[in-house]
């Protein structure tokens, strides 16, 4: 699909997730089949741009394009400045955050809280588009279905955003009030798609090839955005791509491949964060990968007591080497492929 002047290799996007979708993780997901990735949100507050956290989020060294950066804030002028700041640091697409339900974001009326103030939301969109247009940078928007059940205004806001120059809109199929609880619904996403001519991306609870196909069929969306399902299982993108293209299930990844992917990702992670922060922040990525594997929980507990990167890396590599002696293919993936019939039943419910 096309986004602005960019031709994307496929219609599977990595969702922006604070504390997760840093540069090493985005690059891993793209190497394993994702066609596009959006960065963690970068604040629009100028006084925080020099902070270590923001400087890391604005670091795109070695990242393949197009580089998409999500910005968050409540002041139109500040958001426009944030767009220019990130473009100067390599951003080729700017994404506006109106989807985050976190209290610390919504308490300052940013993120999904902006959907409750449509005039302000539209002012921010117009300011960012005006800042990006002279540089030839497309602007995208990520939002939710609305504030709560009975107050879903995604269709209204998407139509206004299109008129203001937004190039693509992503809709997470939950309200702000839901957070990440309950199940995502896709009727609102389908309604948005029916009302706008720009590409629409469906997001929320897409965790398998069957679910991906069902959501595409139900919403008629142009693309899918995947977040939590990629945590610990970034190869989900190549599984979905293969299924959508062929109708067949891709063979499970070999343990040797997963070992190679994870250990290479850890080295990239350490290089970005350094020794002290790197060993701690890597624990969640390791934990996600190990959680469904036999013996993974016990190893994770031991690994969390390791406090240097080299020892952590060797421990993970050794653990997967032992798993490789016992299993050629990843055990949890084999189990998942044995459950296709149950997932097909879920697909039928969704389509109905």
Residue 310 is assigned to a structural domain of this protein: yes
- Exposure b/e, 6-25, CB count within 10 A at least 16 = b: eebebbbbbbbbbebbbbbb
List the catalytic residue out of 100, 106, 132, 309.
Answer: 100
Residue 338 is assigned to a structural domain of this protein: no
Residues 212 and 318 in one domain: no
Is residue 110's pLDDT more than 80? no
> CA angle 231-115-121, nearest 5°?
110
Residues 111 and 156 in one domain: yes
* Amino acid 73: pLDDT: 92
Residues 177 and 314 in one domain: no
Is residue 341's pLDDT more than 80? no
Give mean pLDDT, residues 131-137.
Answer: 97
Residues 75 and 41 in one domain: yes
Residue 352 is assigned to a structural domain of this protein: no
In the chain, the percentage of residues whose pLDDT exceeds 70 is 91
Give the SS3 label for residue 329: strand
Q: What tokens appear for 130 in the block?
A: 């005006």
Residues 296 and 213 in one domain: no
Residues 76 and 15 in one domain: yes
Residues 228 and 308 in one domain: no
**Residue 168: other Cβ atoms inside 10 A:** 26
Is residue 105's pLDDT more than 50? yes
Residue 344 is assigned to a structural domain of this protein: no
Is residue 109's pLDDT more than 60? no
CATH classification of the domain holding 31: 3.20.20.70
Residue 104 is assigned to a structural domain of this protein: yes
> Per residue in 219-272, pLDDT tens?
999 999 999 999 999 999 999 999 999 999 999 999 999 999 999 999 999 999
**CB 286 within 8 Å of CB 300:** yes
**CB 187 within 8 Å of CB 174:** no
* Amino acid 178: pLDDT: 84
Residues 284 and 211 in one domain: no
Cβ neighbours for 141, distance < 8 A, ≥ 6 positions apart: 95, 96, 98, 125, 158, 161, 166, 168, 169, 170
Residues 292 and 214 in one domain: no
Check if 106 is active-site. no
Residues 34 and 142 in one domain: yes
The C-alpha atoms of residue 294 and residue 298 are separated, in whole angstroms, by: 9
Number of domains in the chain: 2
Residues 231 and 210 in one domain: yes
On average, the pLDDT of the chain sits at 90
Residue 350 is assigned to a structural domain of this protein: no
Is residue 338's pLDDT more than 70? no
Would you give the DSSP letter of residue 249?
Answer: P
Residue 339 is assigned to a structural domain of this protein: no
Read off the pTM.
0.90
Of the chain, the end-to-end C-alpha distance in Å amounts to 28
Residues 216 and 283 in one domain: no
The C-alpha atoms of residue 337 and residue 141 are separated, in whole angstroms, by: 34
Domain interval for residue 303? 255-328
Cβ neighbours for 166, distance < 8 A, ≥ 6 positions apart: 96, 125, 129, 139, 140, 141, 198
The C-alpha atoms of residue 309 and residue 85 are separated, in whole angstroms, by: 32
In the chain, the percentage of residues whose pLDDT exceeds 90 is 75
> Per residue in 37-88, pLDDT tens?
999 988 888 888 878 888 888 788 899 889 999 999 999 999 999 999 999 9
344 or 110, which is more confident: 110
């Amino acid at each position: 699909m096309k986004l602005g002047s960019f031709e994307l290799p496929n219609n599977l996007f990595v969702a922006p997730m604070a504390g997760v979708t840093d540069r090493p993780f985005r690059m891993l997901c793209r190497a394993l089949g994702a066609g596009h990735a959006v960065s963690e949100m970068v604040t629009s507050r100028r006084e925080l741009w020099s902070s270590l956290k923001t400087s890391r989020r604005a670091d795109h060294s070695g990242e393949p394009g197009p580089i998409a950066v999500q910005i968050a804030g409540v002041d139109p002028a500040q958001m426009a400045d944030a767009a220019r700041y990130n473009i100067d640091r390599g951003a080729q697409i700017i994404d506006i955050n109106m989807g985050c339900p976190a209290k610390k974001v919504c308490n300052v009326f940013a993120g999904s809280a902006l959907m409750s103030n449509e005039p302000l939301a539209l002012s921010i969109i117009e300011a960012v588009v005006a800042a990006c247009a002279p540089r030839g940078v497309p602007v995208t928007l990520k939002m939710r279905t609305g504030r709560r059940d009975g107050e879903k205004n995604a269709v209204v806001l998407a139509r206004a955003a299109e008129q203001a120059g937004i190039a693509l809109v992503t809709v997470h199929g939950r309200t702000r009030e839901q957070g990440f609880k309950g199940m995502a619904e896709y009727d609102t996403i389908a309604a948005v798609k029916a009302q706008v001519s720009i590409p629409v991306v469906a997001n929320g609870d897409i965790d398998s090839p069957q679910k991906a196909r069902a959501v595409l069929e139900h919403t008629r969306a142009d693309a899918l955005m995947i977040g939590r399902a990629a945590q610990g299982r970034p190869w989900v993108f190549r599984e979905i791509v293969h299924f959508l293209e062929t109708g067949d299930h891709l063979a499970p990844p070999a343990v040797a491949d997963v070992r190679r992917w994870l250990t290479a990702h850890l080295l990239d992670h350490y290089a970005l964060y350094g020794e002290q922060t790197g060993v701690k922040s890597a624990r969640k990525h390791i934990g996600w990968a190990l959680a469904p594997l036999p013996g993974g929980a016990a190893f994770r507990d031991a690994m969390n007591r390791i406090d240097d990167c080299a020892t952590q890396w060797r421990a993970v590599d050794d653990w997967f080497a032992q798993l490789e002696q016992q299993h050629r293919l990843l055990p949890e993936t084999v189990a998942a492929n044995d459950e296709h019939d149950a997932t097909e039943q879920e697909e039928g419910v969704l389509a109905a």
